[in-house]
Structure 1
Amino acid sequence: MCKGGILLLESLLLLGYFALFHPGNQAVLPWGKSPTILHKVCDFPFLFRDPELMPILAGTLVSVYYGSEQNRDVVQQELV
């Protein structure tokens, strides 16, 4: 895997830890001009095709929306 790929994975892990069980941190993810951080994370379709990377993206998405109805709605809309 190239350095850019490793940086992307590390960023996704960091975002997951940032959001996990922290409603205040989850609340800032959909803020700002579109596309927001939350929208951008949902726009990684190529990660869903890679069996090695999919668990990291899936875990990050769950961390981002677990307990946050607003974030869950955004993720649902983006992944449809």
Structure 2
Amino acid sequence: ACREEELSYEYRDGATSYGAFTYSLAKELRRSRQGRRNPSFRRLVALTTRRLQALQYEQTPSLVGPRALLGRPIPWDTRRG
């Protein structure tokens, strides 16, 4: 959840601890879903990076994958359960 030369940090939300990256990523996913936005994988990483910076974590997410997929929108599951 960070570059090789960086440390991965924990985020405390009340009595619960999360990885700072995981917390930030989940927040951005929820925010995008609630706003009915469908960001690309690249955009999601940029939003997650911005949230980590706002929380004052020196942790830089990196995204690895096929270039053809990184710019595509996240495929939300639209089924209702």
> TM-score of the superposition, structure 1-length normalised?
0.30
TM-score, with structure 2 as normaliser: 0.30
Q: Which has the higher helix share?
A: 1
Higher-Rg member (1/2): 2
